[in-house]
Amino acid sequence: MAKYRNYVIAQSLEEAYALNQKKSSVIVAGNMWLRMCGLNKQKAIDLSALGLDGIVEMEDAFVVGAMAPLRAMETHEGLNRAFGGAFKKAFAPIVGTQFRNMATVGASVYSRFGFSDVSALLLALNAEVILYKRGAVKLAEYQKEAWDRDIVVQIRIPKGQCAAVQSVRVSATDIPTLVCAASKSDAGMRIVLGARPARAVVVAEGLAPDAPQRVYEEIASQVTFGTNLRASDTYRKKIAPVLMARAVKACQEVAADER
Amino acid sequence: MNVEFTLNGRKIAAEIDADENLYAVLRRLGMYSVKCGCETTNCGLCTVHMNGKAVLSCAVPAARCAGSVITTLEGLQDEAKKLGECLAGEGAEQCGFCAPGMMMNVFALAKENPCATDEEIDAYLAGNLCRCSGYVSQRRAIRKYLAMKIEAAEGEVRA
Ligand SMILES: Cc1cc2nc3c(=O)[nH]c(=O)nc-3n(C[C@H](O)[C@H](O)[C@H](O)COP(=O)(O)OP(=O)(O)OC[C@H]3O[C@@H](n4cnc5c(N)ncnc54)[C@H](O)[C@@H]3O)c2cc1C
Ligand code: FES
Ligand code: FES
């Protein structure tokens, strides 16, 4: 259970950022993860009054506010139309509806959880993270960085691509044992592996959609997998090529449906 | 700190700690239908409605509730009776511990997708764990409840 002395509902991003520069402060979004962290902080900074929960369709991209709940993305018609239903399918296995009404996309991106379905899909879609101080950063870069005290304001997801996600779970609603997200654009297929159990990474770019199975095996042989309570590195390495092939196939089917 | 919100249709002012969650405040206010099963946002037992959406009260910061509309099972007694009868009729309740949270989520489903298929019912309720029923009888009861609601709505239109 997290402990806070003060709870501040920020009235501006400027205020939230200034308060967050102290190590004794913490940003609160959906509070799903934080509440379990056993933190002891002077100040909790709540972002819920900043109107950061919108999903806006622009000509070339979707811009999603950091406080948008996962469920809002999962049920957003425009997002699912544009990306072949990927958000609906990828987010549905995350715990339950009530959970996804609360957990936010900005916190998922900030946290860079190794097990994240959210980061895996956004990474496959080549999303950009818009930070309050630093501005736009490619998610692929942000994924590699250490946690800092900047605030995720928006996520920008470029249009013109479709995606599909495959995951393996020990049981329904558990965190994934392995996730694979694939996207298809004019530049070819982009494949991401997450829950390795380390942070999600792009493992292939510009891949032909009809690559034979041995190509996925070759890719998997070069990825580092780890062992945790859910599975061993050997198991992950073994199922990774299968998930990759399935994700690419699902992505192809979505692309064909769209045509 | 002090927080004011609407609870089951009544304006409430409550004294809260900065790090308290909504679940603890609701229990203090006598809303004993709201229970805590896991405290790790996994079981769905603490489900209430906040501004019309089903949320897990064990993770809602109480300080965020200022100006919100909160509904618990105590505020939906007529519906609880109807759904409770469906659950009893289908043998879908054994210890009954999971029922308040599950019922609150079924009411959210009924509003969002009244014609839900079995698959949609299962997906919507995936975050409501039940250790006794095996879920099949719950699904039957929920299907019955949704059908009853549709029938009642159609009856109203005809009248
Ligand atoms: C029980 C459980 C099961 C889960 N299962 C899955 C799963 O299967 N798949 C999956 O993808 N995810 C899963 N998650 C993760 C979940 O999807 C969210 O990523 C997580 O809950 C964080 O979102 P939140 O809004 O609750 O953030 P919070 O808990 O409020 O915050 C998390 C962290 O992010 C920081 N933060 C929040 N917002 C910002 C911001 N805008 N800018 C900078 N920092 C910020 C906070 O300070 C904190 O350090 C699970 C989480 C839990 C608790
Ligand atoms: S007590 Fe809140 S989800 Fe279990
Ligand atoms: S009836 Fe016992 S937990 Fe559901």
Span B107-121, pLDDT tens digits: 999 999 999 999 999
According to CATH, where is 3.30.465.10 located in chain A? 55-258
Question: Are the Cβ atoms of A173 and B42 closer than 8 angstroms?
Answer: yes
In CATH, which superfamily holds the domain spanning B76-158? [2Fe-2S]-binding domain (1.10.150.120)
Instruction: Write down the pLDDT at residue A156.
Output: 98
Residue type, B33: S
Comparing B157 with A111, which gets the higher pLDDT?
A111
Task: Report residue B157's pLDDT band, with 50, 70 and 90 as the boundaries.
Answer: confident
Amino acid present at A56: V
C-alpha to C-alpha distance for A61 and A75, rounded to whole angstroms? 18
* DSSP character at residue B62: G
pLDDT of amino acid A38: 87
Closest CB to A28: pick one of B55, B61, B105: B61
pLDDT of residue A1: 78
> ∠ CA A28-B108-A169 to the nearest 5 degrees?
65
Contacts A3 to B, Cβ<8 Å: 19
Q: Is A25 in the pocket of ligand 1 (CB under 6 A)?
A: no
Distance from CA of B131 to the nearest CA of A (A): 15
Q: Residue-wise pLDDT tens for chain A (259 aa)?
A: 789 999 999 999 999 999 999 999 999 999 999 999 889 999 999 999 999 999 999 999 999 999 999 999 999 999 999 999 999 999 999 999 999 999 999 999 999 999 999 999 999 999 999 999 999 999 999 999 999 999 999 999 999 999 999 999 999 999 999 999 999 999 999 999 999 999 999 999 999 989 999 999 999 999 999 999 999 999 999 999 999 999 999 999 988 887 7
Residues in CB range of B31: below 8 A, 6 or more apart: B7, B8, B72, B74
Q: From the centroid of its chain, how far is CA B20?
A: 21
Centre of ligand 2 from the C-alpha of residue B65, in Å: 18
Judge whether A70 and A108 are in contact, CB under 8 Å: yes
In this structure, what are the phi and psi dihedrals at residue A205, rounded to the nearest 5 degrees? -135, 145
CA of B34 to the centre of ligand 2 (A): 10
The SS3 of residue A185 is: strand
From residue A113, alpha-carbon distances to A118, A192, A199 in Å are 9, 14, 6
- Measured in angstroms, the CA of A201 and the nearest CA of chain B are apart by 27
- Which pairs with CB-CB distance under 8 Å and at least 24 residues apart come from A223-230? A223/A193, A223/A196, A224/A196, A224/A198, A225/A196, A226/A196, A226/A197, A226/A198, A228/A197, A230/A170, A230/A174, A230/A175, A230/A177, A230/A197
Look up the pTM and report it. Answer: 0.97
- For residue A192, report the phi and psi dihedrals to the nearest 5 degrees: -120, 140
- Would the CB atoms of B41 and A4 count as touching at under 8 Å? no
Percent of chain B with pLDDT over 70: 100
Which pLDDT score, from 0 to 100, does residue B84 have? Answer: 97
Structure tokens at B47: 């489900």
A92 ligand 1 Cβ < 6 A: no
Give the CATH fold of the A55-258 domain.
3.30.465
Residue A255 is predicted with a pLDDT of 84
How much is the average pLDDT of B33-41?
A: 95
Minimal CA–CA distance to A1: which of B27, B129, B17, B72? B17
CATH code: domain B2-74 is 3.10.20.30
User: Which residues of B make CB contacts under 8 Å with A?
Assistant: 1, 18-19, 21, 39-42, 44, 47, 53-56, 58-61, 63-64, 66, 105, 108-109, 123-128
Distance A49 CA to ligand 3 centre (A): 37
Per-residue pLDDT at A134: 98
Residue to mutate among A98, A100, A102, A171, with most B CBs inside 10 A, is A98
Token duo for residue A250: 């699902």
A255–chain B nearest CA distance, Å: 25
Do A92 and B123 lie within an 8 Å CB cutoff?
yes
Q: What is the pLDDT of chain B when averaged over all its residues?
A: 96
* Closest among A189, A192, A238 to A217, alpha carbons compared: A238
Q: What is the pLDDT of residue A256?
A: 86
Burial of A133 (0-12, 13-18, 19+ CB in 10 A): exposed
Specify the domain boundaries for CATH 3.10.20.30 within chain B.
2-74
Residues of chain B with CATH 1.10.150.120: 76-158
| A contacts of B123 (beta carbons < 8 Å) | 92, 97
